[in-house]
Amino acid sequence: MMRAPGRLWSRTLQVASWTYRHYLTATACSVMIAMIFFTQSDSPARFTFFVVVLPLAGLGILVCWQHLRFSVVLAACALYLAAMTVASAVDLGGWGEGVWPQTYLSVYILLFVTIVGGLVASHDDFIDRLFLVAGLAAAASAALNIYFFFATVVPADGYALYYYRLVATVGMPSYANSTNISATYAVFCIGTLAIAVRGRLPASFRAALAAAAGVLFVAVLLTQARGAIIAVAVGAAVLVLTAAPRFRRFAAGAAVLLAALAVTVPGIQEMVFVRGLSFRPEVWSGFLDLIAARPWTGYGSFSPIGLRLENGVFLDQAHNLVLSAWFRGGVVSALAMALVLVGGLYWSWRHWRATRQVAPLCVMATIASAGMIDYQLLATYPTWPWVTFWLPFGLCVGAEMVARRGGTAAGPAQA
């Protein structure tokens, strides 16, 4: 009778090793991420996360724990989520119905970030496989949205195209506006481009990813979100600056030519010279005044307070990830978000120095740039914030683990 637990444990390890060698957790996670681009609700991705990804991740940790290391970025994510939850509890006067959902959603998000980081740390080709699946899915979804945009939104009565902004007809549940999807498309545009240019996939796959990056770039332009356009430029600049010197010179010349041509496009002229700064200094100043009234605890995730601009527009977020974190979650939340962004950039840079894999650094530079101009980050089920923010943070968690390990490759052969 005493041998039964031992046999059960041995069999469990065999199953865990088999799932690890055959990339089942990595595949399930990539498929779950891809689902978000084609579903109108969070139910399919949520089901896949709980029923497939979490159990496989639990098995995987039995055989890949030796690849994992302490992560400052992961700790900062946990601190950020905890501070936001406590701020909501303080604002509502207790741990009532409104706070409990935020609590368990925060746990789910932290598990997702941990799983992505663990996959990066334990499979040296996970990032390539991830963008091959999720990057192509994002591009396919964007292509469908572009088609429906021209088929149903843009009229055929001669109005200029820049009067209309791309919206998500397919996928991206819970997204609010064109600015939301612009950041998502920017992240996957740069991620797929980095793998297409510097990945280790076969040439045919890299060509497909290059085409996907092109589709996603067109989608970013059609959203007319300047923050995302700037973020794509920053991500592409990181990709160029980490390349060989000869390629850097060629890319710099191409960038100057492209910029010169871009300013001749009426839509871009309108974005740059007519919209200007879009009240950003006024918004940041106004939210700093609100923050000064509650600098320590913030207002919580559910407070209806916000800022009304002179043109009558009401804003409930500070259009900056750190300021929004401070406004909603207090000073601890703001410091944690700043640590996520700075730590993510630093450790993804260290990861690139150790492995020459540049995708995490490019993706993190992209979302950090976009986050300085817009966005707040709240706890949700698997919807657009997971693929836009938490996925890049998870990639940086894994990059940090690999860098702390000395940049040594993992892979199933070492399990």
Q: Minimal CA–CA distance to 113: which of 33, 179, 180?
A: 33
Q: By CB neighbour count within 10 A (0-12 exposed, 13-18 middle, 19+ buried), where does 74 fall? A: buried
Over the chain, what is the mean pLDDT? 88
For residue 32, pLDDT beyond 90: yes
- 139-152 per-position pLDDT tens digit: 999 999 999 998 88
Q: Is the pTM of this model over 0.85?
A: yes
Cα dihedral across residues 230, 234, 236, 241: positive or negative: positive
Helix, strand, coil percent content, the chain, rounded in steps of 5: 75, 0, 25
Q: Which residues contact 393 (CB under 8 A, 6 or more apart)?
A: 73, 77, 113, 340, 344
Total H helices, total E strands in the chain: 18, 2
Mean pLDDT computed over 234-252: 78
Give the pLDDT band (50/70/90) at residue 241: confident
C-alpha separations of 273 from 5, 48, 230, 265 in Å: 71, 46, 15, 12
DSSP states along 156-172: SSS--GGG-----SSS-
Mean pLDDT computed over 216-244: 90
Contact 401, 117 (CB under 8 A): yes
Q: Which residues contact 238 (CB under 8 A, 6 or more apart)?
A: 358, 361, 362, 365
Which is higher by pLDDT, 206 or 67? 206
Rounded percentage of the chain residues whose pLDDT exceeds 90:
61
pLDDT of residue 158: 65
Which is higher by pLDDT, 315 or 387? 387
Which is higher by pLDDT, 354 or 261? 354
For residue 73, pLDDT beyond 80: yes
Give residue limits of the domains in the chain: 3-407
Compute the distance between CA of residue 43 and CA of residue 198 in angstroms, rounded to an integer.
35
Which is higher by pLDDT, 226 or 381? 381
Contact 32, 45 (CB under 8 A): yes
Q: Minimal CA–CA distance to 34: which of 150, 163, 236, 184?
A: 184
pLDDT of residue 206: 95
Residue with tokens 């905890």: 82
Give the pLDDT band (50/70/90) at residue 253: low
Mean pLDDT computed over 188-203: 94
Q: By CB neighbour count within 10 A (0-12 exposed, 13-18 middle, 19+ buried), where does 260 fall? A: exposed
Mean pLDDT computed over 367-396: 94
pLDDT of residue 266: 57
Give the pLDDT band (50/70/90) at residue 413: very low
pLDDT of residue 86: 95
Give the pLDDT band (50/70/90) at residue 415: very low
Neighbouring-strand partners of residue 314: 308
